[in-house]
Amino acid sequence: MTDIDTDELKRQCRILAKDGLGIAQSPADVSKSGAVRGVVADAIKRWGRLDILVNNAAIPDSTSFDLLTEKRWRHVMSTNLDSIVHCVRAALPYLRQSPCASIVNVASTQGILGQPNALAYGSAKGAVVNLTRCMAVDFGPLGVRVNAIAPGFIDTRMALLPDGSGHEHETTWFKDIYIKYGKLPLRRPGKPEDVAGVIVFLAGDQSRYVTGQVLAVDGGLTCTY
């Protein structure tokens, strides 16, 4: 596991270790290619092989176009999009040696649908969607599968309101539009476990003939209007 937030990384590793999982942590800023190479080197040193890569790093952004500076645009793109390229470039030499190699990229429903004030975030996630397809075509002959998931409203820190006033899933507008009036057919936001199960499926043998696909994990959000 890697993350720029060292304290949270340590906390999550402790939680997983209690379940008996062999977890190693390697803090890094994945928007930096040099840092990513170090993470992959740490994994190879520990296990001697690499079979699965999950690209899940992202930062939220809801900046309107008139306030979207070049610096902010680049920060969102480097974290949400460039990081995937860095991680795949570092991992691919080892993944192609695996008999069961799989890459799972985490996109977003915002990469499929338009949303107000989501220019940077939505553009990055939209690029992740097609990056996944292109990688699947290029890496298929190497025996490396590449798929993506597009989560919708999920109960994580990403859903905290930018002004710090609370959680978007607790707001009146969310409860009315998405729950009461059915914009979310399943009538609830997702949990991290709902997303994790799909990642495990795409990473494992049960999906061994699936590549280049983008699976929405959104409670039905993208099938409504």
- Is 94 domain-assigned? yes
- Provide the phi-psi class of 117: left if phi over 0, else alpha when psi is between -120 and 50, else beta: left
Q: What is the CATH number of the domain that holds 199?
A: 3.40.50.720
- Is 183 domain-assigned? no
SS3 (DSSP) at 133:
helix
Catalytic (active-site) positions: 121
Q: Are 150 and 216 in contact (CB under 8 A)?
A: yes
- Is 75 domain-assigned? yes
Q: Are 79 and 4 in contact (CB under 8 A)?
A: no
- Is 74 domain-assigned? yes
- Is 165 domain-assigned? no
The number of distinct structural domains making up the chain is 1
- Is 104 domain-assigned? yes
pTM (global) more than 0.85: yes
- Is 58 domain-assigned? yes
Per-residue pLDDT tens digits of the chain, which is 225 residues long:
999 999 999 999 999 999 888 899 999 999 999 999 999 999 999 999 999 999 999 999 989 999 999 999 999 999 999 999 999 999 999 999 999 999 999 999 999 998 888 899 999 999 999 999 999 999 999 999 999 999 999 998 887 777 777 888 888 888 998 899 889 999 999 999 999 999 999 999 999 999 999 999 999 999 998
Residue-number span of the structural domain to which 208 is assigned: 50-159+191-223
**Distance between CA atoms of 22 and 135, rounded to whole angstroms?**
29
Backbone torsions φ then ψ of 85, nearest 5 degrees? -60, -45
| All residues at 6 or more sequence positions from 176 whose CB lies less than 8 Å from its CB, including other chains | none
- Is 115 domain-assigned? yes
